[in-house]
Amino acid sequence: MTDQPTSRPLRVLAAMSGGVDSAVAAARAVEAGHDVTGVHLALSANPRSFRSGARGCCTLEDARDARRAADVVGIPFYVWDMAERFREDVVEDFVAEYRAGRTPNPCLRCNEKIKFAALLDKALALGFDAVCTGHYATVRRGPDGRRELHRAADAAKDQSYVLGVLDERQLAHALFPLGDTRATKDEVRAEAERRGLAVARKPDSHDVCFIADGDTRGFLARHLGSAEGDIVDEEGHRIGTHQGAHGFTVGQRRGLHIGRPAPDGKPRYVLDISPVTNTVTVGPAEALDVVGLTAVRPRWCGAAPTGTGRYGAQLRAHGAEVPVSAEAVDGELRVRFDRPVRGVAPGQAVVLYDGTRVVGSATIAGTERARGAAERTAAR
């Protein structure tokens, strides 16, 4: 494995979700000569018995699948209850962000707070050297000897965006055995079959893992309630109503239920969300063009950059990288795009890249629109 912190055998704690990627990652860690123990994180206080297709995770079925995979690989296996920590750091954060009119990414928060904080801290306290996961990314040593996070060998499967919150200390204790795999998902599944892993054909988990039915709006309504508010156009004219501003995100087109088309007949998109007035503003696609942003709570995968630099920026988990100029100033990250981009929502993460190397990540607090209207939402 190109991403192991040292060449010596390590005591490795393999986080096993019950899916194919984490099972193959654990098997590869064993094959590399490490002393591996499997652990499944119980993240739900009241887990369902079975998954529904590709939705959700952390069911009793997932725990059983992880245990069977550990048995096949031939490693000890445990289930650790982290439901309370997950609820506080991920689920409650998710709800609070939507309450404030922002659009969070719970996968980043889980990696930051659970897998590479709570889990890693416990692993180190128990004498383990590293935590192993099934993420597609790589850890390398840079010219200065520091650990660096890089994109996976296969760009189509790269997951470095959701790992951009990891700092150098966490990277020093992270193993990603799948990161240097230039294989299709079918080939990874074929490897799992060759290894005798029953999860070889199990569907991947999609959407927000703790919303098993995929109904994010319904989940938020149950936690935040319903309150009728206005949908207005850019001039502030009321053109419809909704049952809660938390059910929308910047750039959203579907589910607006406005009832009447725009004067020019073109689709309208969510431009702004005001939780204070419970108002959603909509307008044409070109009004979403963003030329700059300010992001807060930067986390650097190594030394913080100095001065203004040229980078690639990724704004969503499966988004394309776009060229930017960026500078860290007074605890904020200020980014200017070479050309306008659309659908940038406060609460999302901007991750900077220097080639394949992840420079760091920050939470978008505000954007500068090409039309000159600035949108800013306070970020915690």
Our answer to whether residue 110 is catalytic in this structure is: yes
Which residue in 107, 132, 209, 301 is the catalytic one? 209
CA distances from 289 to 89, 229, 232, 286, 363 (A): 32, 25, 19, 6, 19
- Compute the distance between CA of residue 378 and CA of residue 380 in angstroms, rounded to an integer: 7
For 121-183, give the secondary structure using H, E and C.
HHHHHCCCCEEECCCCEEEEECCCCCEEEEECCCHHHCCHHHHCCCCHHHHCCEECCCCCCCC
- Write the single-letter amino acid at 202: K
CA distances from 323 to 45, 188, 313, 363 (A): 43, 32, 6, 18
Our answer to whether residue 209 is catalytic in this structure is: yes
Which residue in 57, 58, 107, 110 is the catalytic one? 110
Angle 216-224/92-99 helices, nearest 10 degrees?
80
In a 3-state reduction of DSSP, which class is residue 247?
Answer: helix
DSSP state of 269: E
DSSP state of 52: B
| Residues classed as catalytic | 110, 209
